């Protein structure tokens, strides 16, 4: 039989491609990946209502990364669809799943869709001017990874925009519950543009206070007054696009999840500048 990797797009189930929709109709099992991205209109309950005769399973991080063999075994004898918000290859985890399916001799077919990585073109910032994509994790007490800022600075120095994907915490356990092996999970958390900008500025501030910092040039190129663009719910009816300085975006209300932030290149193309003016009002 076959395993379908189906991209759901960013808005709703209506955004699935025609070929992807046919794959869902053919499937006996629908696995909804529910940790690299989530969408209110693409929940397990919604899928159960739309496909009442099919078995719908939520695929959390543990299942996908460590316990997907049952799904792959099913795909040897049944038609199985693995559903991903955005595009199936928007996360490294799904590339690993593809390789594991190949190793097990499972036939696999891909149905691509829009992801945040190309949908940010709606901001008017030209996609060919984007550098490496970064992920910004939640700071947690003394755990403050800062490598994402190094990548932002590298892009900035090369005159490139940076798309920053913001942390999502779904079905996470506290350290105590993990140690005690209690199946109790923390409430979901979704990083906002405001939190992401706060962390970026915090890292830059810490570095600029270090007198022996060999990269002193950093404080001269990326500051609270540097231009950025915050986006929320791209592809949905209530999407938000807002340009402003990092300091301005720090205080702007983007509403509910999901959010992403773009740190703009030092100079904009004239068309990009027109979009900046449009989305700064």
Q: Annotated binding residues for S-adenosyl-L-methionine, as ranges? A: 10, 87, 90, 115-116, 166, 234, 259
3-state per-residue secondary structure call for 145-167: CCHHHHHHHHHHHCCCEEEEEEC
Burial per residue of 136-172, b for 16 or more beta-carbon CB atoms within 10 angstroms, e otherwise: bebbeeeeeeeebbebbbebbeeebbbbbbbebbbee
Length of the chain: 281
Give phi and psi for 129, each to the nearest 5: -100, 10
Give Cβ neighbours of residue 196 (< 8 Å, ≥ 6 apart): 136, 164, 166, 259, 261
What are the CA-CA distances from residue 191 to residues 89, 212, 228 (Å)? 22, 32, 17
User: Are the C-beta atoms of 152 and 200 separated by less than 8 Å?
Assistant: yes
Q: Rounded to the nearest 5°, which phi and psi values hold at 224?
A: -60, -15
The label of the residue with tokens 């962390």 reads: 199
Q: CA–CA separation, 266 vs 62, rounded Å?
A: 41
Strand partners, 231: 241, 260
The count of C-alpha atoms lying within 13 angstroms of the C-alpha of 86, restricted to the half-sphere facing its C-beta, is 22
Binding site, by residue number, is: 10, 87, 90, 115-116, 166, 234, 259
Angstrom distance (rounded) from CA 151 to CA 147 = 7
């Amino acid at each position: 039989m076959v395993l379908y990797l189906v991209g759901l797009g960013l808005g709703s189930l209506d955004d699935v491609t025609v070929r992807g929709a046919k794959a869902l109709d053919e499937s006996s099992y629908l696995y909804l990946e529910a940790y690299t991205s989530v969408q209110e209109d693409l929940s397990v309950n919604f899928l159960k209502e739309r496909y009442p005769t099919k078995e719908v399973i939520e695929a959390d991080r543990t299942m996908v990364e460590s316990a997907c063999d049952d799904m792959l075994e099913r795909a040897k004898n049944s038609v199985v669809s693995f559903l991903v918000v955005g595009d199936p290859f928007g996360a490294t985890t799904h590339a690993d799943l593809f390789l594991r399916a190949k190793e097990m001799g499972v036939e696999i077919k891909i149905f691509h869709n829009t992801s945040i990585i190309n949908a940010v073109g709606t901001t008017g910032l030209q996609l060919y001017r984007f550098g490496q994509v970064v992920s910004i994790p939640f700071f947690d007490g003394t755990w403050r990874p800062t490598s994402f800022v190094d990548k932002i600075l590298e892009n900035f120095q090369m005159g490139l925009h940076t798309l920053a994907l913001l942390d999502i915490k779904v079905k996470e356990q506290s350290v105590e519950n993990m140690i005690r092996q209690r199946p109790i999970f923390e409430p979901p958390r979704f990083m906002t543009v405001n939190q992401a900008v706060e962390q970026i500025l915090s890292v830059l501030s810490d570095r600029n206070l270090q007198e022996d910092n060999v990269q002193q040039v950093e404080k001269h190129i990326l500051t609270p007054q540097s231009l950025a663009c915050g986006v929320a719910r791209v592809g949905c009816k209530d999407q938000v696009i807002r340009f402003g300085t990092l300091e301005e975006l720090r205080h702007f209300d983007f509403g509910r999840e999901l959010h992403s932030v773009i740190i703009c290149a030092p100079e904009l193309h004239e068309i990009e500048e027109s979009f900046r003016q449009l989305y700064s009002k």
